[in-house]
């Protein structure tokens, strides 16, 4: 399951969960909307059990956006034990899978 969160919730979750993958999006971003069902399917994959999946509106969450270094949309970032591990802007599922697999 993908949880939509704001700046406040974002900070709490990345500091309290071991592994977190975040998709930064904007409502106007067509590629973000197209990637949403793929991200949702990934969150339900048993292989990724124990990983928290978050959606963050980049325009409404400036602190989260700055922490992850968002430069384009859709933008993905992985956090482990509260620290940024990797990030990339992409619309390719295999790139996001590589980011997620890099958390192990």
Alpha-carbon distance of 37 to 93, in angstroms, equals 11
Q: Indicate if the alpha-carbon torsion angle 42, 89, 14, 54 is positive or negative.
A: negative
Find the mean pLDDT for residues 27-34.
96
| CA torsion, ordered 42, 48, 51, 56, to nearest 10 deg | -10
pLDDT in tens, 72-93: 999 999 999 999 999 999 999 9
Find the mean pLDDT for residues 31-38.
96
User: Which residues, in sequence order, are CB contacts of 62 under 8 Å at separation 6+?
Assistant: 7
Decide if pLDDT at 104 tops 90.
Answer: no
β-pair type (2-5, 51-57):
parallel
**Architecture of the domain delimited by 2-101:** 3-Layer(aba) Sandwich (3.40)
- Which of 5, 21, 29, 68 is flagged as catalytic? 29
DSSP string, 28-95: T-HHHHHHHHHHHHHHT-GGGTTEEEEEEETTT-HHHHHHHT--SSSEEEEEETTEEEEEEE-S-HHH
- Which of 21, 32, 73, 100 is flagged as catalytic? 32
The yes-or-no answer on residue 13 being catalytic is no
The yes-or-no answer on residue 92 being catalytic is no
Q: What is the pTM of this model?
A: 0.95
């Amino acid at each position: 399951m993908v949880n939509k969160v704001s700046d406040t919730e974002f900070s709490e979750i990345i500091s309290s969960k071991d592994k977190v993958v975040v998709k930064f999006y904007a409502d106007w971003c067509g590629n973000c909307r197209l990637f949403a069902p793929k991200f949702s399917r990934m969150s339900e994959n048993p292989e990724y059990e124990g990983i928290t999946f978050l959606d963050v509106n980049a325009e409404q969450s400036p602190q989260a956006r700055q922490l992850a270094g968002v430069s384009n949309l859709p933008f993905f970032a992985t956090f482990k034990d509260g620290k940024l591990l990797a990030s990339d802007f992409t619309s390719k599922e295999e790139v996001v899978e590589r980011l997620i697999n890099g958390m192990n």
